[in-house]
Every structure is written in structure tokens, then in C-alpha cells.
Structure 1
Amino acid sequence: MKGDSVPLHTDITKKKDDRIRWYFNDILIAHINGDPSKTCTDVQCNDGNERFRDRLELDHQTGSLTITNITSTDSGLYKLLIAKGQEIIFHVSVLEKKSVSVMEGNLVPLHTDVSKKKDDRIRWYFNDILIAHINGDPSKTCTDVQCNDGNEKFRDRLELDHQTGSLTIMNTRTTDSGLYRLLIADGKETIFLVSVLAVKSVKQGESVILDTPEVKNPNDDMTWYFNGTLIAEITGDTSKICTDGQCDERFRGRLKLDHQTGSLTITNTRTTDSGQYKQVTSNNSRRRRSSSSSSSSKENIKSFKVTVNDSGLSPSAFPSAVVGICVPVLLIFAVVGVVVICYLRRSSRKVNTDMEKNKQDKLLRKDNTETEEDRGQMT
């Protein structure tokens, strides 16, 4: 696939004086003339041709050639010639891929962007397994179970558009992540790299397990990426968690890798750990002699979207905060109580004073009346 490296293995034991020549579409791009000092690659071999500048690696022990950071213009015929008459041909196809990401449970449409003709044969593959095809006649259309001898992986979750050949995957699962390949009878081929994101949400300080329950094949190479940066890998019997410099100390001492399943655990999570994590599994036993080679290597990909939420106030700080809030409230209620009590007392005193005054006024009026009556009788 575009951007990958593709090794072209000779599968021979080279002798010291063997002359080896590599051609791309009949243009000399690399050779070994026995003496290592007479080895050339690309620019030196081909009068300054810049096509493969700094992208060819030649193995002096075997004569194998590796093309790095491959591009679509690198597609073509590669020919290996050995002085004693041996010749090996490699046909390299560099495929463009469309990347598609979707949250687990949602549907994902894979559009062909072609106008399908009535008799066009269309085939869809998932990691090289046939999952859907159209053979021109609509009655000869199959999806998943019918195509693949009862494989249940996509049961009732595939929809095939008979007009365009587009494929829709419904109710997606993390196990649906991987390479989907569309082949049309006229030779057209399209690759889709689908990532189904499992959503993981934890509180800051907790651990999160990015689980891959399947048992890892001993021949599998496994790598973990965080937002595109390599953070952990297992190669054969050895494993490595990224160094401080590679991780920028982000995960210092907080990553644990399960050698049996390849699952990754992040301990003591932080909000800066939020992001996309991707596990890529590839089989390293693919190296074998072949007359053709393709850069579309088989890979299994699982993706996770992790969100680390800020836990807010720590438990130890919470009781103090409650006390700090409650004390002023109690004080306010106490002041209100005093005000009310004082008001009632003052009001009570005022009422008593008024009643006493009224009583005295009545007595005084009564005395005045009696005095006037006495004066009348004397007259």
C-alpha cells in the first residue's frame, strides 16, 4: 500500500563474486558487481534518475531489494538478473487506500464511485476473505454467509447496492476493522482501510484496558499507536514499550503489555491520555519466494477512542468544602433568629406599654368625671 515498504526477496545464498542486477521496467536501478565498493542504487546506476532517491535498500548478503515509502508510480515489473543465468520477475502493484473511521455500532458506507454496467462482476473482500459479490445477474448476488460457506461474521449486516456496487456495513463492531478490497472485472481495484472505534471512558487516575481477547499468534508482529505515534510493540518473542524520548514522557511507567493477547493497559490515567489508540497486527511469516509481490500486506487493525474525564474535587478536599459551605449558612440562620426574637420582644414591650398608658388615661378620665359631679352637688 502507498507509504509502505515492500521487500523483494531473492531467496538465494549469494556467493562472494556473484553479479546481481535489478531492473524496473527494463531500467537499471541497482546492482552488485561482486566487490561491495562497486554497488550502486538508483541515482548512481541510472545517470541521475531521481525516481527512487534514498528509497532503495540492497542486501549485500542475499541481493534482496527493499523499496521504502512506496508510491503509486513504483507499480510495475521488477526483474532480478544473476550472472549465472538466474532470473526472477516481481510484479508490484501499489494500491491507493481510502481511510474510513466510524464509532462502534454505527453504519459505514464504502462507496465505489463508479457507474456499474449491467454485466459487471464486482467482488468485495475483507482481509482477503470474500464477503460479497455481484455476477451481473441480480439473482447471482451473495453477501457474507452465502459467499463464504456459512461464515457468520457479517450475518444480516451487509447491504450491497446493485446500481453502484457500493457496500454498507451496519451495526459495526471493532472486529470489522481492517482492509476491504473492491475488485471489478475490468481490472479496477479500490482499497478501504476501515477503523471501527471502541469507546472507552474513565475518570482521571483510573486504569483503562484496551483489550484484544484473541490469543496472539506467535508469528504475529503487533504495534500500538497513540494519535499516530508508536508507543509499544511485540516482535516475535520480544516486546518493547516506547522510551521516554519517543513518548515524550507522556506514559512513563504507566503502560503494561499483555504478551498473550497483545492487550494494552494504561494505569493512573490523565486527561492528556485522551485520544485515538490503534493496534496493528501483521504476520511476519509472509516472507516467501514468489514470482509476484504486492504491497497490500494483510493487517488486522483495532482502534479505540479513549476519553479521560477530570474527576473534579478530590475526596479528601470534599469534607472541608462541605464544612466551609455549611458554617456560613448556619451563621446566617442564627443571625436571622436573633433578629426575629429581638423584634418580637421589642414588639411585645411596645404593646404592653400602650396598654398601660390606655389604662392610666381611662382612670384619669374617670377621676375627672367624679370631681365634676361632686362640684355640681355642692352648688
Structure 2
Amino acid sequence: MADGTAGAGRDARRRARADRRRRRADGRRARADRRHRLAETAPRGGRVSPRRPDRRRRYPLSLRRDPVPWERQRPTWREARPAVIAEALKRAQARPSGNWYVVGATRDIRDDRPLARTIAGHEVVVWRATDGRLVAGPGSCPHLGAPLKDSPVRCGTLLCHWHGLALDGGPFAGWEPLPAHDDGVLVWVRLDDVGGEPPLEAPVVPTRPARAASLTAVYVGVGVCEPEDVVANRLDPWHGAWFHPYSFVDLTVVDAPTGEEDGFTVDVSFKLGGRLVVPVRAVFTAPEPRTVVMRITEGEGVGSVVETHATPLAPDDRGRPRTAVVEAVVAASDRPGFALARKAAPLLRPLVRAAAGRLWRDDLAYAERRRHLRSTGRFPG
């Protein structure tokens, strides 16, 4: 009798455990169904009402609950309407740039060599004078056309390596300096003949966290496309979790611009590994024709920005347009541990650049494909 009672008890416990597992599985399926219904009923403008990230968590990391496989995540193609992206791009292109173009990172200016870039087919060199002032000008020597990008800088003077012609940054023998600007993270040059707009005294630089309290890193990549293809990519936040599942999960575009409004508001979690994520709310804006800014407004790192700048280069050997993507990450946090991260900046910058590089390998493929379709009249947007 005792053995029979014990056996019955074990059977009851097994049935109870099986029931609990079944209820949990049913709950997961129900939540997945709700997510899919949300996708089907989301307004066409892209406005939905997702769970917002906590304004401030005790710890910066979160454990992702009920992760959905990549193929079962909410489709975003209905919300990512070509007209919405095209209108946002059109508004960006209508804003003034003052003819300013990003050359590269401030950190890339060395004491012994100029920073060089061919912008829209124009060779440009940038270096520092003896007083630390930024100097810029044409990259061709006025004597016999030597490439000044290969010439050394000595005591603030650029010395042509062909015949020793010295340029101190002032006009000389037909060589005319160009307006230049150092914003502390990026170096800009003004090319009025290229831009054709009314010039501005300084470039349109987005508001950033204080340099003394932030960590900065700059990534540079090149693609066979035009600046508008890079900007259009950044004005399509819907592709993030589908195209970059290694970096982004649980992405929802909360608000997309309509009419003259501007800014895409996005809830997204940055994936760190396994189920560890950092949930944030970010806003994407385009302050000028060749710049898109992502700013974190809620969650970890409020105020941090990622600036994507697109600079037209010279065509490749097949005559196809080329564009440099110069992406500046300016990260900030008021957590005590961030001070240690800033001290470790020389070690962290290569990691930040590598992460940006991985994303842009995909996104430049997106931009190049868009340019190819446009050039053949097959782009559906």
C-alpha cells in the first residue's frame, strides 16, 4: 500500500511539472502571437506603443526576456515605407551645409604629416601651423603638381618632397588656403566651388557631450556610392534588427516623421552577447545634407551620440562615385565606472571602431546596392 501511494505521488508531481512546462510554452506562444498581431495592426506611419526602456536602471545591462528567433521577429517592411525615407532624405538635402565637408578625425592630424583627402575630386591637405592653428589647402604643389599628401611637415611648414617648396599656410605662388575647422573630434574643410551654397563661417556640428567627460572614437570607411545613399541608409532605422542581428534586437520605431516633422524615435537593445542587452531609446535626425545623428535620449548613456558623415570622394577607376563614411562615436555616462572606461580609451577605441566597421560592412553594401539600382533606373523608392 505504501509503495502504491508513493508511486501515485511521484506520478502526480510529474504531471504537475509537465503542466507547468506546458503553461510556460503556451505563454511564450501567446506573447509571440501578440507581437505578430502588433506588426499587422501597427499604423502605416510607423507609430506603435512598445515597452519603453527604463529611464535609469541600477545596472547598465539587462537580461533579455523571451528572446524571439531572428526569423520570428516582427516584420518591419510595411512601416519602412519608401516614401517616408525619401521625404526624410529630401528634407535633409534641403538644409544648409555652408559647403563644409568632413575630412577625418582630429586625432589623425600628426605633427610630421598632413591629413589628406580627395573631396569631390579635389585634393585637400590639412595640417597644423606652429601655433596649433589648423591649416588647409589644395593637395597639389603649385610648382609642378607634386602630391602634397606625401610631403612632410616640419615646424608647422609643409615641405614639398619634390623640390622643397615650403608652404606655411598662407597664399603662395597660386596656392590658396581653404577655410578649415576643428570641432575637437572631426576636422572639416570648406569647398565653396564644390558645394555651391552660401558659405557658413563654421560647419553645422551637432550638440555633443562635453569632451572632458566623454569617450570618442572615429571610424572611416569607403563605399561605391554617393552621400545620399549613406544618408538614406541611416534614415531607415527599421532595418536594424533584421540586417544587423548581431548588434541590435527588439527594435521598434516608435515615431517616424510626417510632413515637415523630423526625427525617427527608436526603442532598441544593443546586443552584448547571449541574452545580455542594453536597452535604450534613440532619436535619429539629419541636421545637414551629409550628416545623420543618432542621440540616446533614454536608457544607458543618455546624451551620447553617433554622428555619421558622408563625404564625396573621387570616382573609382571605372568612373563610379565613391563616398567616405566618417562616423564619430561620442559616448558619455554619469556612472562612476565610466571614468575608468575613459582612462582606458586607447584600448577601447579600436574595439569601438571594429564594431562600427562590422556594421558598415553591411550598411555600405546596402548603400552600394541602392546606388546601383538608382543608376540603372530600377530603384523601387
Q: TM-score range by the shorter chain?
A: under 0.3
**Which protein has the bigger helix share?**
2
Bigger-Rg structure (1/2): 1
**Which protein has the bigger strand share?**
1
Bigger RCO of structures 1 and 2 (CA < 8 A, at least 6 apart) = 2
